[in-house]
Structure 1
Amino acid sequence: MVSFLRVLLFGVGGMVVAGAVWLVSSQDRLIYMPVLRGFTRSYPITPSYLGLDFEDIWLRSSDGVRLHSWFIKCFPDCKGPTVLFFQENAGNIAHRLEMVRIMLQRLQCNVFMLSYRGYGASDGYPSQHGITRDAQAALDHLSQRTDIDTSRIVVFGRSLGGAVGAVLTKNNPNKVAALILENTFTSILDMAGVLLPFLRWFIGGSGTKGPRILNFLVRSPWSTIDIVSQIKQPILFISGLQDEMVPPFHMQMLYAKAAAHNNRCQFVEFPTGMHMDTWLAGGDNYWRTIQRFLEQHVPEKKDDHSLNSAKGKSTRNISGL
C-alpha cells in the first residue's frame, strides 16, 4: 500500500513537473503563431489584390514598438461604422482579407486591421501586455481621424482577437461604441486544459476544479471571462457550434457572465460554424445578424437638416389628426 501511494505521488509529481516545463518552454509558441506552416511571415497578398483601396498605416505603441496596419475604406466618403478588427492567433492580417472584403460590402463599413507586434510587418515579440498596448495605439489612431465617424467605432475580435478586443473595449468606454466577439475562449488558463487534458487539475480559470498550482507560470492568461462582466457597451456573441479549437461552451460562459451585468448583450449560434469559417458557414444570416446589431446599437447619425425636417413632418402629421 505504501509503495502504491509512493508511485502515485511520484506520478502526480512528474505530471506537475512536466506541465511546468511545458508552460515555461512552449506556451508562447502555442498562444502566438505569426507564421503558418508552409508560409512566411510576410503578407501573401495586400488589399489591392482584391481591388480594395487602403492606406498603409504605421503606428508606435506606447512602449515604442513600430506597428503596421491597414485602413480600408468602403468608399471615399463612407461615414458608416468603422470596424477595428483583431485577428486570431495564427497567421497575419492578409489571411483575413477575403472575409474583410465581404464585410465591407455587406456592412458598408470601414475596416482597420492591426498587425500585432511580432506579426506581419510589425516589430517586436508578442505578449499579452504588449498586444494590449498595440490595440490601444490602433484605437487612439482611429479616434483622432477626421474622415470617419469616431462615435461609431466597433471592435470585432475572433478567438485571441476577442480577448484583445474585450480588454480594449473595457478600457475605453467612451471610444468604443460596441463589441463583437466570435469563437473566443474564456481564458488561456482554461484553454491549457483543452490542449493538454492532464493539466486540468493543475491549471485553469475560476471555474476549474483542482488546486491550479501552475497558474502563476502562464505569462499571457487573457482572462476574458473576468473582463466581459466589466463591459458596459453592447456586445454581440457569435458562436460556431462546430468549433474544433475553442469548445462552444466557452462562448456560452462568456455570454452568461456579461449578460448578468449588461442588458445589451446578444448571443447567436451557427450550427455548422467552425473556428475559422463561421462567417462562411453562416452565410447571409451571419451578415444580417451583425447588420441588425449595428443598426440597433450603432445607428447612423442624422444631420441637423434631416432632424429638423423630420421634426417638421412629425408636427404636421400631429396637427392633421
Structure 2
Amino acid sequence: MQNTVTKMITVTMISTAMFIISGCTVRLTEASFIAHDKAPVAFNTEFTQALQQAMPNNAITPLSLEASDHAKLNGFFIDNPNSNTTLVFYQGNGMKIQPHCLADLTALSALNTDILVMDRRGIGASEGKPKIQNIISDAQQQLDYLQQHFQPEKIILHGYSLGSFIAADLAKNNQIDALVLHGSATNADDWVDEKTPWYMAPFMTLEIPQDFRNIDNKQVVAQSYSGPLLVIAGENDDEVPPALSEKLFAASKSANKQFIMVPKVGHQGMLEDVTTMQQYQAFITAL
C-alpha cells in the first residue's frame, strides 16, 4: 500500500489551512495510487545469482507469461526439490522483485515450499498499464498457469500490503489450502479512516473509486473464505495500522486461524523476525 494516501492527506491538510471554512475533496484514482514505472527493467544476472546464493538447494526458473492484452509479465518459480506445496507471493504497492524482494523471498524459502512470484504489470520487469481489474485478472492467469504446469499438491496464497487484496480476492473463487494476509487492511474505507487525523475529518472528503471498494478483505474472510488463515501484523506499522489486521482476524469465520503480532516492527521487516517465521512454519506444517 505504501504511503500514497498518507502523502495525499498531508498535502490536503496544508491546503485545508487556506480554506478550512469551505472544506475540500480529494479524489483517489488508480493512476495516482497504483505505483507504475515508465518502462520495464529486466532482471539482471547479479540479482538472479543473489537469489540462487540465498537458497542454494532450490532451482530458480525465470518465468515470462503473456497477459490477455499481450503484456509480458515476468517473475520466478523457485523450486524446492523436497516440496509439493507452492507459496504464491503477492508484493506490496511499488514493491519490485528486483531489488526489493530478496530479503522476503529468502525468509519465505526457509518455509521449505516452492515459491511463485511475479512482478505485477506496470512495475519492475513486467509490462502493461496497471488497474485493479487487470491486476486481479493477471493474478488469476498466473494461478491457473501454476496449477496446469506445476500441479502442486497444496497452494498457499500470501499477500503483503496491497498484495493481500489480490490474494484474498483469488481465495473467493479458487481451491486453495491456506491464505496469509500480511500487513493487511480490511478495506479501502477503513484504511482511509485510520490514516485520516480526527481533526481533519470534518473538513475533508476522500472519493474512492468503486473498483477499490469492490476488493474487500474483511468481506472475503467473513463471507467467502473459511479455510486456514494466517494474519501477520507489525506492532509499529504506521502504513497499515495493526488494528485493521485485528479486525480482519476477528471477522474471519475460519475454524483454523492464527494471528501473529510482530513486536517492535513497522510495515517492513515482519518476515525477518525469527519467532514469526517459526510460527509460520508450524502453521504450514499443520495444513
1:152 to 1:194, Cα distance in 2 relative to 1, 3 A:
same
1:177 to 1:41, Cα distance in 2 relative to 1, 3 A:
same
1:132 to 1:272, Cα distance in 2 relative to 1, 3 A:
same
Tell me the SS of whatever aligns to 2:65.
Answer: strand
- Write the letter of the residue equivalent to 1:139: L
Asked whether 1:253 is paired with 2:220, we answer no
- Write the letter of the residue equivalent to 2:106: R
Corresponding residue number in structure 1 for 2:105:
100
**Cα deviation, residue 194, structure 1:** 4.3
1:201 to 1:82, Cα distance in 2 relative to 1, 3 A:
farther
Tell me the SS of whatever aligns to 2:153.
Answer: helix
- Write the letter of the residue equivalent to 1:290: Y
Residue correspondence of structure 1 range 270-285 to structure 2 within 5 A? 270-280=262-272, 282-283=273-274, 285=275
**Cα deviation, residue 33, structure 1:** 2.2
Match of 1:226 among 205, 219, 235: 219
Unaligned runs of at least 5 residues, structure 2: 1-18
Asked whether 1:32 is paired with 2:25, we answer no
Asked whether 1:268 is paired with 2:269, we answer no
More helix by share: 1
More displaced 10-residue stretch of structure 1: 270-279 or 219-228? 219-228
1:70 to 1:164, Cα distance in 2 relative to 1, 3 A:
same
Residue correspondence of structure 1 range 161-176 to structure 2 within 5 A? 161-172=163-174, 174=175, 176=176
Corresponding residue number in structure 2 for 1:294:
284
Match of 1:57 among 52, 58, 63: 63
Tell me the SS of whatever aligns to 2:226.
Answer: coil
Corresponding residue number in structure 2 for 1:15:
24
**Cα deviation, residue 235, structure 1:** 0.6
Asked whether 1:84 is paired with 2:88, we answer yes
For residues 64 and 42 of structure 2, the distance between their equivalents in structure 1, rounded to whole angstroms, comes to 16
Corresponding residue number in structure 1 for 2:189:
189
For residues 221 and 136 of structure 2, the distance between their equivalents in structure 1, rounded to whole angstroms, comes to 15
How many residues are matched? 258
Corresponding residue number in structure 1 for 2:77:
71
**Two-structure CA RMSD over aligned residues (Å):** 2.7
Asked whether 1:141 is paired with 2:134, we answer no
1:73 to 1:12, Cα distance in 2 relative to 1, 3 A:
farther
Larger RCO, structures 1/2 (Cα 8 Å, 6+ apart): 2
1:143-171: per-residue Cα shift (whole Å, max 9, x none)? Answer: 0124x5x2311111110111110101112
Moved >6 Å (runs of 4+): none
Corresponding residue number in structure 1 for 2:154:
152
More strand by share: 2
Is the contact made by 2:218 and 2:251 (CA closer than 8 Å) also made in structure 1? yes
1:130 to 1:180, Cα distance in 2 relative to 1, 3 A:
same
Is the contact made by 1:202 and 1:214 (CA closer than 8 Å) also made in structure 2? no
For residues 122 and 137 of structure 2, the distance between their equivalents in structure 1, rounded to whole angstroms, comes to 13
Structure possessing the higher radius of gyration over alpha carbons: 1
Identity %: 26
Is the contact made by 2:155 and 2:177 (CA closer than 8 Å) also made in structure 1? yes
Unaligned runs of at least 5 residues, structure 1: 1-9, 204-211, 298-321
1:21-41: per-residue Cα shift (whole Å, max 9, x none)? Answer: xx25xx533x32245xxxx95
TM-score (norm 2): 0.80
**Cα deviation, residue 296, structure 1:** 1.0
**Cα deviation, residue 124, structure 1:** 1.0
